[in-house]
Amino acid sequence: MVVAMGKTGVKKADLKTVRKLITTAGTSLAGPVPAGMKRWVTFIRIVNQHTGIQKIWICSTPAAMTATTPAAASAAAKVSFYLQALERENLPERGPTELENPLFCIAADKYFTAQPALGNASVFAQYYDE
């Protein structure tokens, strides 16, 4: 259990992590955000597994994965990355943010999803629900 106070009004938060291989079909990183809550994302690490440069989107979608095209993923994106083959990027660069300074949030009943444009990628993310 982590205890913090800040802009998001967090008092107690159970930090969760997810590590998944994502595909061009799109991948749900976590189940739906519980009703009446928000999902606060504090860290993302992306590793491009594709043999060339590609764009990768981290999204908020209304179903487990509805951003099945680059245009749909772009419209639902909270953040995106352009990565070379086997390149890795952290957001933020130095590691997870403090709980009171998350990267972004995902609304209740939405899903935390990801989609690469051309080939597989791996994602590691840290988040909490409040």
Domain boundaries, the chain: 2-129
Query: Whole-prediction pTM value?
Result: 0.85
Residue 63 CB contacts under 8 Å (≥ 6 apart), including other chains? 111
60 within 8 A of 106, measured Cβ to Cβ: yes
Q: What percentage of the chain has pLDDT greater than the value 90?
A: 69
Q: What is the pLDDT of residues 16-71, one digit of tens each?
A: 999 999 998 889 999 999 999 999 999 999 999 999 999 999 999 998 766 668 88
d(CA 58, CA 51) in angstroms, rounded, equals 20
User: Band of the pLDDT at 1, cuts 50, 70, 90?
Assistant: very low
| CA separation, residue 90 to residues 39, 48, 93 (Å) | 19, 12, 5
Under CATH, which number does the domain 2-129 receive?
A: 2.60.120
d(CA 55, CA 80) in angstroms, rounded, equals 7
- Residue 91, beta-bridge partner list: 44
100 within 8 A of 5, measured Cβ to Cβ: yes
User: Band of the pLDDT at 95, cuts 50, 70, 90?
Assistant: confident
Count the neighbouring beta carbons within 10 Å of the beta carbon of residue 98.
Answer: 11
User: Band of the pLDDT at 97, cuts 50, 70, 90?
Assistant: confident
pLDDT tops 90 at residue 98? no
pLDDT tops 60 at residue 105? yes
User: Band of the pLDDT at 130, cuts 50, 70, 90?
Assistant: very high
> Where are the alpha helices (H) located in 4-130, listed in sequence order?
70-76
pLDDT tops 70 at residue 6? no
Pairing of strands 111-116, 54-61: antiparallel
User: Band of the pLDDT at 7, cuts 50, 70, 90?
Assistant: low
